[in-house]
Structure 1
Amino acid sequence: MGNVLQREEMDQIKDQDRFIKSFVEEEVYNLSKQVVYFPVRHHSPACAFHLKKTIEEYQPEIILIEGPDHSNHIIPILTDERTKPPVSIYYAYASGEQKYVCYFPFLLYSPEYVALVEAKRRQIPAAFIDLSYGSRLESLEDGHDLKKKNEKLSYHDERMLAGSEFIQRLCQTMKCRNFDELWEKVFEIDGIRKQTKDFVKDVFAYCYLSRKCYDDATLEAEGDLIREAHMRQKIAEAKKKHARILVVTGGFHTYGLIEERKTSYKIQKVQEEKIYPMVYTYQEADQLNGYASGMPYVHYYESVWKALEKKEPAPFSNSALTYLPQLLKKLRGKGETTSTADAIEAYSLMNGLAVMREKAEGGAYELLDSVLSAFTKGERSIATSQPIETLRELLTGDGIGEVAPNSLDVPIVRDCKDRCKSLKLAITTTARNQKVLELYAKKSHREASQFFHCMQFLGTEFCTKEAGPDWMNNRNVNLVRETWRYSYSSFVEARLIESSVYGGTVKEAAAHKLADMVKELPQHQSYELAKWLLMAVVMGLEELSQRLFESVVESVRQDGHFLSLCKTLKTLTILLEQKRLFGLSETERLENLVEEVYYQAVTKIVEQGNPNPNELDELADQLKFLYMLSEKRQADDSREIFSDQLRELLRNDKLPAKLEGVVVAILCNLEVIDRAEISKRARAYMFGSPEQMLHTAAYLHGVFIVARDYLFHQEEILRDLHQMITSLAYDDFLQVVPELRLAFTYFSPMEISMLSEKVAALFQTTVEQVTNPVIDERTLRDARMLDQAIKEEFAKWNLI
């Protein structure tokens, strides 16, 4: 180690091994002293293995553990027999407008969890002694920067240990790809075969030499020194009451707990920090998924731990034997062609690699390398990545923990789990499940839809709708099924805890959150209110829906904007048309409101003669909507008012061409004016002034929005259009063509085929000649290549 470490501080130590050995024997792991320090790497099976041996031999009166001291009341819940790791303690802390979240996970083989369980079994106290998360941030001048370093912050952050210069150079010397492979080789595989005192000495040595790569300023900025000062104080308090104290902390801090320092720190106490026990998942605890401490391949090391508990002589080899058959089964289920011979070869390769790498057994990295070689024959590509990726999934696991029922259980979390159980939604794993809901056929499916919409609205990321009606944007509202993907995780639980400020159930939280959002809306924007009314109905929030309905009524009477009223009318119409789906039995008030909004909107049509150009397309669509709605109405007076408003609008000389086309087409369909008026006005554009000619496409676009069937009954417009196009100048043609293409996008493929026949007849040719490209693609490609070759040849002779 001395040859590897090139630090000035270490150069002053003549005999590093002697110093570390004597320090461990006298100060760290001296079972005759009042305090015994046990350094660990978080979530290490080997550390947990030797920790149990230490507890058995030392017989402590109390176990002190690195963990936030204000969460000691969680310990009985964590050690309850009904609690099944992985679980976590959730911390949420707010400072001003900033919110910070931290997780303290426990796996079945985490040394901290094993210490808690052993303390309970022996009926001795166990306590956390570290700073709380909020106090840790508030006590540091740059404490809030800690949050920026890792979005999913773990209380045990091992970046300092794994990223030290000592560890990096040691990995190079020992030919290990990373710190995790180095740790597995030295401590997990070889460590379980060492005497406990030798194991502790090695763990301390690695952590101590890594720590010496950093100066005090860095350690202080990271919050290590203030945390260690707090833990030293807690240890001193325990020494006044207990004769044998076992201290279990991350190895990076062990030297700092023993080292005498005169520096004092002012610790800021935080009262507003939320603390809850919560479930956790294998995937979230895996280091490769962004978790800041512990080892990867969580499920794999759990299987190793279980083998150690059974005192199996070869726990790593036995674990590999369980994963290879699972890998075969999983790959075959995915349609991959694999053989048992591949698995046998992989197991043989794993053992061979272990011998070559001087390991007692093949670990996770030998298993991965052997599968890569045996299953993919060493070829790593997208086409051959399935075996190795599937193995990684198996090694990580997809399970989720369980927290024993307790008084700290957040009501909204319990309600969510109860709702999932009643709706038969699978949340026992982190797998992405699919649920297809028959909205009209089954009441339970409508209830599931309401639940999914509530969870989505709360931002829990529990579910995603893949298909079905989009009520908020008025798309696909004719569909009768919804397809959802969902999965439960600790992230979902954390978001639910954050939403608990709105209510104790999922529905209550969604209702209060929506009510707060509605308060911020201007009263005169009826559409926004109507949209959220629809959303409240979709989520099944009956009481809030009634209040929002009253707000919409008031807002409509203050809303003077035509487009807002039309969109409000469209939203209310959806509610009325889907009354059976939404369970609306009393609809008289809704029908009256629809009637009122309709008249409000229709009477403002005449005011749209000089619209904002950016609103032109939306105005055309809303006029079409009002026309379609008027066709469904029985009262003659309502249709008369609608047609009168349109005729008055048509008299406006400044009416844009697109709106003119829409209005003329509607009036023709209502039989208020003759259909020949469409052709008459089209000719006025086609053969008018040059400026009018350029608006022809916009006019036809408006006509086709409402009455595209006109082309099939009035063929003269095709001849007029042909005559106009042939008379256009080249620059004018380039300006008109894009708008003409846009106008014809309203026609279906069958209608385009019918138009092709009419155009072919006009030119006395066949449909094939009309629809085929003038130059085929191959000719174009050859011409392009020839053109490029000529350019290159000209360039050689400086001709271009």
Structure 2
Amino acid sequence: MSAAPDPRTAPGAGTGPGRVFASLRAQLHAAAEEFAGGPDALEGILLGMVDDVDRAVREPLEIFPVCHHSPASALAMARRLREKRPKVVYLELCEDMAPLLTELRNCRLPVAVQAFASDIDGFPPDWAPLSVVAPITEASAEYQAVAYALDTPGVELVLVDRSSDHVFQWDARRPAGDDQEEETREDGAALHGEAVGVEIGDLRPRFAELEEHLLRHGRVRHWSEWWHQYVEVPLGDGDHDTYRQVMFLIGSLFRRLAPGDGDRVRVDEDRERHMWTRMREHLAATGTDPADCLYVCGAFHAASRVEEFGVHGADGFEISPRTTTTWQYGLIPSSHAAIEAQFGLASGSVSIAAAQWAKNLRRTRVKPYRLEGQAGTKKTPEKKTPAERAAAPAAIPDLGPAPAPAPAEDRLSGFLRRPPVLDTLDEAELLGWSVDVVRAARRNGYLASTADAIAVFETSILLAGMRDRAKPTPYDFQDAAVTCIEKDGVPGRRDVRRIVEIMMGGDRIGRVGYEALPPLARDVHDRLAPLELNLQQRGVRRALLDMASRPELRSCSDVLWMLRRLMPHGAARPVMGERRLGERSVQESWDLALGTHQRALIELGYEGVSLEQVLEQRLRRTAHGARATTAEVLAAVEDATLYLGGRRLADELGHRALEVLAGERTVDGAPEVLRRVRGLLAYYRTAEPVLPPWIESFVRTGYAHYCTLLPTAFQDEDATTGQVAAMLGFLFSMEGLALSLGCDRTQLELAVAQSHPKDPAKTALLWAAQVQLGTLSRQELRARCDELLASPLVVPSYPRYLSGFVHALEPVPGLADVVVEAVSNAFGRLPDAVLLPWLPVLITTLRSNAGDLAPLLIREAGRIFPARLPALDDWIPPWRRPPAAPRAARPGPAVGAPRGAALLPAHPATCDALAELLGCAGEWAPAGGPPPAATGAVLLPVHPDTCDALARLLGCDEPWAPAGTAPRPPSLTGRHPDTAHAVAALLADR
């Protein structure tokens, strides 16, 4: 902060007009001595503020200081424009936005002028996309100046602020949370998104202690309320000189008490140098008299102390060239809430300002400027014929020589010494507010009554009196309504504070007219015209598409699916119908909110002239990005096939996917790659006569690629079980196609043999792969699972093995029965002390790591387990059932002959082998001859081991009788007579 006044603006500098504020300087000097005990920095600040005002007042080019969205500034601007009738209006707005201002007449305010760049050159890539917005409302001085300049013949409007490109060139990218003067980042909740806001006249103290002091002594809650009470209302009836001097003084105060932040000061001063340089260039090029010009800028910049200030300032400032970034320009809808959020204003302050603007117009009868044909305003009078216009007085004042300005007078002394005017209570207005808010509250579910209206009325007066105000302000009334009506709960979706904001004017949301839309947005509305819906209005519209009866709606369906892909969620939402590879719905139902998401649709127009072009550009940008993955490129291939049709772009992106796959060294995207390749293969096999060359190359390259990465992935701790399972799923499911294209299965066998995982889940996955390759049998796999359950040291990690088995269902779905058996054995064999702590781990492991594969496991379990509860008592699991006994041989053709006798002559070789195995050597009896003496009984003592095995097989487990004792009666005859007879017949004497 400067403690001494500027030597060029010191008292006495210049001629007579420089002595206008001599009395004010003397008063402030005496006040500084009285309060500070002598001249010091306080005197320097106070006198410096007067010097700033004096300097700005004496400038030959009239400076009109404003505060953004201030009704007092807009009213003073309308008055001054009708009085001065300037020929040139210099406006503090980005100079490259000038061509857009003529399109404001096709819009309903508030809207924002936007500069947008998606392809940037000269800025860091992570800044993209770049967006700059300048909101405009009707209750703003800038709109009054624009409307006057555009609708008045012979008036030139010149924008003098830095360009949108320079906004980012000069942006120091301060950390989030650092307050910015006119460039703030919004949280994305309002219509402006993450755009940088450029605003005329952001007039707010940067010195936190000063703002806190003003709020505390003003007995208000926030800055918007303080401004309304102590600046907005007093200046509403002030004359032009008083308005200018007060605004100069406030701007100088905030400027001199601002923290000495180097970056912020540099940006502020560079903006002022830029604007004065541009104005001097224009004056020199056109020869315009500065007295015929008006410079509209924020009060903060009006009290400038740079050397380039004024038409006679220095010319040493050099404006840097713009970058090669391509900027697109357009208008986007804005709203009161968006402006409040972006520029840190209190909620509802812009709506209250709009209501105050309308009230000021009725009270003062000042005729504001509005663009001819402006949407959302009152209907303009019908145009007259040339003869009628010649006979009638001119609607716009003649731009003859402007009257000479009157000598400047000191209006600050009287304004500062004048006590505040206490407005009398307007009981009718306050009573109307009280009745309206109760009525609105009842519509929103509050149990409000006439007593609440009376309470709001009286409480508003009470609060105003406590804050030294005779007339309650809208903020006092809002506090009273919250206190008396809301009480302890909000029954609906709106609280009372929001109800008051709506009652005062609401969150007015602008709309960009059809003629002001970019070509892409107009093309979308034209192509959706067969739906016969008003898509310009905000809100949700339901569209029903029956393509069977109305084939022309298929093109509308294509547009809607592309909008769903390109625009934010909710702009186009399908209720019924889907679009997948190889599938098209005959009937569809959509919820459309294009009017609500008009900003997003307009920004699409900055990227191309049609939806197809924008989608193709985005798909290419995604596929050729520096960090593009194989899964992302395959998703782009799928989108190109779904939305654009044809093979050109899909084949191009497919070859790009092949390049990205060959360069990947990780398996992070393996699950997504597997899912998308399977879908594309299924589509091409049904929709195309032959597979595209790129997908054949992709399968061949992917087979070799994943075989190479498989051993490393099994040992890599960063590679998850699901990713390894997806690799195996690609290898096993694509194996037939890959082998037909020339791949070698030995490569996969070697990769599995070289894999030695340490993780239990991956170990189980490796066992499943070995089963699929045939190097491990299912019986051996069951045996390993039994060993895991038998080891107390391994039981705690058994859920991880099960997780691996469940993941193995992706590459080897035939193991579902083995996995069910493994889980069932765990529940059947583990004791409760081990099972109960272990069960939550199992459930969370399966749910988090194998949620997609659990349905397959459940279906297999449903097939194995009984369907009814009573059957569970006698149910035996399949893996515990003994092998089924061999079926008895069918009876021979000879009736009454032993069944085995028919086998002997039919199969002599088999009978000889069985006789040799059982130790019964003999010769065949001649045909028709007597049988040999030996019988089957001789086998028992000759081959006791074989006899014991046969006895156990037939249910006979009695021990042999001791030698010399009577033989025990055979149990076969008593227990299993049928079986004994069958064996006797099979082993009949030869």
TM above 0.5, yes or no, is: yes
Is this contact kept in 2: 1:468–1:481, CA < 8 A? yes
Q: Check whether the contact 2:206–2:257 (CA below 8 A) recurs between aligned residues.
A: no
Counterpart of 1:113 (choices 123, 140, 143) is 143
Q: Deviations over 1:768-795 (max 9, x none)?
A: xxxxxxxxxxxxxxxxxxxxxxxxxxxx
Question: In the superposition, relative to structure 1, how do residues 14 and 247 fare at CA in structure 2: closer, same or farther (>3 Å)?
Answer: closer
1:534 to partner: Cα distance: 1.6
**AA at the equivalent of 1:248:** V
| Residue 250 of structure 1: aligned partner | 298
**CA distance in 1: counterparts of 2:714 and 2:543, whole angstroms:** 43
Aligned counterparts, 1:202-601, within 5 A: 202-213=246-257, 219-223=265-269, 224-227=271-274, 229-230=276-277, 233=280, 237=284, 240-241=288-289, 244-256=292-304, 262=314, 264-270=316-322, 272=324, 274=327, 276-283=329-336, 285-287=338-340, 289-291=341-343, 297-311=349-363, 335-339=445-449, 342-343=452-453, 345-347=455-457, 349-350=459-460, 353-354=463-464, 357=467, 361-377=471-487, 386-392=495-501, 397-402=507-512, 405=515, 410-415=518-523, 428=536, 443=554, 444=556, 447-455=559-567, 488=596, 492=600, 495-496=603-604, 500=607, 503-520=608-625, 527-540=631-644, 542=646, 545-548=649-652, 551=655, 568-575=673-680, 586-590=687-691
CA distance in 1, matches of 2:62, 2:706: 85
Counterpart position of 2:984: none
Taking structure 1 as reference, are residues 622 and 235 closer, same or farther at Cα in structure 2, changes over 3 Å only?
A: closer
The Cα of 1:419 is off from its aligned counterpart by 6.3
Q: State the alpha-carbon separation in 1 of the partners of residues 575 and 175 from structure 2.
A: 40
Residue 173 of structure 1 is aligned with which of 217, 232, 236?
A: 217
CA distance in 1, matches of 2:818, 2:259: 83
Q: Is the 8 A contact 1:189 1:359 kept in 2?
A: no
1:282 CA drift (Å): 1.0
Q: Which residue of 2 aligns with 1:90?
A: 114
- CA 1:276/1:670 → structure 2, altered by over 3 Å: closer, same or farther? closer
Shift of 1:90: 2.3
User: What is the distance in 1 between the residues matched to 2:236 and 2:249?
Assistant: 17
d(CA) in 1 for partners of 2:431, 2:828: 80
Q: Which residue of structure 1 lines up, in the alignment, with residue 132 of structure 2?
A: 102
Tell me, which stretches of 5 or more residues in structure 2 are unaligned? 1-26, 186-194, 366-422, 581-587, 875-990
State the 1:45 CA deviation.
1.3
- Give 3-state SS (helix, strand or coil) of 1:267's partner: coil
Contact 2:116 2:328 in 1 (8 A): yes
Q: Which has the higher helix share?
A: 1
1:11 aligns with 2:114: no
Task: Provide the C-alpha distance between the structure 2 equivalents of 1:146 and 1:491, rounded to a whole number of angstroms.
Answer: 27
Q: Deviations over 1:203-261 (max 9, x none)?
A: 33322333343599875552254145336626854773475333322222334356975
Task: Report the Cα distance in structure 1 between the residues aligned to 2:46 and 2:777, rounded to whole angstroms.
Answer: 107
Q: Residues 537-580 of structure 1, C-alpha deviation per residue, up to 9 Å, x if partnerless? A: 3444646643346527966997999977885453143346679x
Contact map agreement 1:331 1:387 (CA 8 A) in 2: yes
**Residue 230 (structure 2) aligns with:** 186
Equivalence for 1:682: 785
Paired amino acid for 1:185: Q
Tell me the percent identity: 14
Q: Do the aligned residues in 1 keep the contact of 2:455 with 2:484 (CA within 8 Å)?
A: yes
The amino acid that maps onto 1:131 is D
Contact 1:158 1:293 in 2 (8 A): no
Query: Counterpart in 2 of 1:766?
Result: none
Spell out the pairing of 1:721-800 with structure 2 (5 A cutoff): 721-722=829-830, 738=841, 742=845, 746=854
Shift of 1:371: 1.9
How far did residue 618 of structure 1 move? 3.0
Does 1:612 find its partner at 2:722?
A: no
Q: How does 1:664-743 map to 2 (within 5 A)?
A: 679-687=782-790, 697-704=799-806, 705=809, 706=813, 717-718=825-826, 721-722=829-830, 738=841, 742=845
Distance (Å, rounded) in 2 between the aligned partners of 1:190 and 1:750: 82
Larger Rg: 2
Given residue 343 of structure 2, which amino acid in structure 1 is its aligned partner? Answer: Y
The alpha-carbon distance between structure 1 residues 45 and 536, as it changes in their structure 2 partners (threshold 3 A), is: same
- Provide the residue aligned with 2:404 in structure 1: none
- 1:384-421 CA deviation, whole Å, 9 max, x = no partner? 98222454567561512325736xx6434544565677
SS in 1 for 2:89: strand
1:162 aligns with 2:162: no
- Taking the aligned partners of 1:263 and 1:556, their CA distance within structure 2 comes to 55
Query: Which residue in the other structure is 1:153 paired with?
Result: 196
Deviations 1:274-299 (A, max 9, x none): 36241231146423x02268996323
Paired residues of 1:69 and 1:132 also in contact (CA < 8 A): yes
Does the C-alpha gap of structure 1 residues 85 and 247 become closer, same or farther in structure 2, counting only changes over 3 Å? same
- 1:797 aligned residue: none
- Relative to 1, partners in 2 of residues 1:462 and 1:756: Cα closer, same or farther, differing over 3 Å? closer
- The DSSP-based 3-state class of the residue aligned with 1:300 is helix
Is the counterpart of residue 56 in structure 1 residue 56 in structure 2?
A: no
Give secondary structure in 2 for the equivalent of 1:240: coil
RMSD: 6.1
Contact 2:274 2:317 in 1 (8 A): no
State the AA in 2 paired with 1:112.
Answer: E
Q: Find the aligned partners of 2:802 and 2:45 in 1 and give their Cα distance.
A: 90
Amino acid at match of 1:268: S
Q: Residue 772 of structure 1 aligns with which residue?
A: none
1:749–1:559 CA distance, 2 compared to 1 (3 A) = same
What is the TM-score when the length of structure 1 is the normalising length?
Answer: 0.69
Measured in 2, the distance between the counterparts of 1:658 and 1:555 equals 32
Q: Which of the residues 37, 41, 50 maps onto 2:67?
A: 41
Q: For the structure 1 residues 118 and 146, does the alpha-carbon distance in structure 2 shift closer, same or farther, using more than 3 Å as the test?
A: farther
Matched to 2:789, the amino acid is M
Aligned-pair distance for 1:185? Answer: 1.3
Distance 1:324 1:435 in 2: 38
Instruction: Name the aligned partner's letter for residue 240 of structure 1.
Output: T
Aligned equivalents of 1:104 and 1:605: distance in 2? 53
Task: Describe the shift of the 1:734–1:560 C-alpha distance in structure 2 as closer, same or farther (beyond 3 A).
Answer: same
CA drift at 1:12: 5.3
Q: Judging changes above 3 Å, is the alpha-carbon distance between structure 1 residues 63 and 712 closer, same or farther for their aligned structure 2 residues?
A: closer
Q: Is residue 650–residue 660 contact of structure 1 (8 Å, CA) maintained in 2?
A: no
Partner amino acid, structure 1, of 2:845: L
What is the match of residue 791 of structure 1?
none
CA apart distance, 1:125: 0.9
TM-score by length of 2: 0.57
Which residue identity does 1:87 align to in structure 2? V
What are the Cα deviations for residues 572-631 of structure 1, in whole angstroms up to 9, with x where unaligned? Answer: 43346679xxxx98333359988897788789999857852435333335656888999x
CA distance in 1, matches of 2:868, 2:733: 29
